[in-house]
Structure 1
Amino acid sequence: MTQTKTRTANYDPIARPYQWLEYLTLGRTLERTRLHYLPTLTRQQHALVLGDGDGRFLARLLAQNPTLQADAVDTSAAMLQLLRQRCEAASPTASARLHTHQANALAFTPPTPQKYDLVVTHFFLDCLTQPELDTLVARITPTLTPGALWLLSDFRIPTGPMRLPAKLFVRSLYLGFRIITGLRTTHLPDHTTPFTKADLTRTAHHHLLAGILSTELWQTPSS
Structure 2
Amino acid sequence: MTSDPNFNPIARPYRWLEYLTLGRALERCRLHFLPALLNRKKALVMGDGDGRFLAALLASNPHIHVDAVDISATMLQLLSKRCEVNAARLKTHHTSALTFAPIGPYDLVVTHFFLDCLTQSDLETLIARITPALAPDALWLVSDFRIPQGPMHLPAHIVVRSLYLAFRIITGLRTVRLPDHATPLTQTGLTRIAHHYSLAGLLTTELWQCKPRPIALAPP
- TM (norm. structure 1) is 0.93
Could you tell me which of 10, 20, 24 is aligned with 1:24?
Answer: 20
Please name the residue that 1:69 is paired with.
65
CA distance in 2, matches of 1:66, 1:36: 19
| Stretches of 4+ aligned residues off by more than 2 angstroms | 5-8
Could you tell me which of 82, 88, 94 is aligned with 1:96?
Answer: 88
Q: Is the 8 A contact 1:73 1:101 kept in 2?
A: yes
Please name the residue that 1:36 is paired with.
32
Listed as ranges, the matches of 1:100-139 within 5 Å are 100-111=92-103, 114-139=104-129
97-106 or 5-14, which deviates more: 5-14
Cα shift at 1:33:
0.4
Please name the residue that 1:78 is paired with.
74
Please name the residue that 1:173 is paired with.
163
Q: Which amino acid aligns with 2:26?
A: L
Cα shift at 1:193:
0.6
Identity across aligned pairs (percent)? Answer: 68
CA distance in 2, matches of 1:52, 1:78: 12
Q: Deviations over 1:159-182 (max 9, x none)?
A: 001001110110000000000000
Cα shift at 1:119:
0.1
Listed as ranges, the matches of 1:132-151 within 5 Å are 132-151=122-141
Q: Which amino acid aligns with 1:222?
A: P
Q: Which runs of 5+ in 2 are unaligned?
A: 214-220
Q: Which amino acid aligns with 1:100?
A: T
Please name the residue that 1:204 is paired with.
194
Aligned residues: 213
- 1:12 paired to 2:8: yes
Give the structure with higher Rg (CA). 2
CA distance in 1, matches of 2:23, 2:175: 24
CA distance in 1, matches of 2:50, 2:163: 19
What is the Cα-based RMSD across aligned positions, in Å? 1.1
Q: Is the 8 A contact 1:6 1:183 kept in 2?
A: no
- 1:218 paired to 2:208: yes
Q: Deviations over 1:20-39 (max 9, x none)?
A: 00000000000000000001
- 1:189 paired to 2:189: no
- TM (norm. structure 2) is 0.95
When residues 71 and 6 of structure 1 are mapped into structure 2, their CA distance, relative to the original with a 3 A threshold, is farther
Cα shift at 1:6:
8.4
CA distance in 1, matches of 2:168, 2:102: 29
CA distance in 2, matches of 1:109, 1:8: 18
**SS of 2:83 mapped into structure 1:** helix
CA distance in 2, matches of 1:96, 1:8: 30
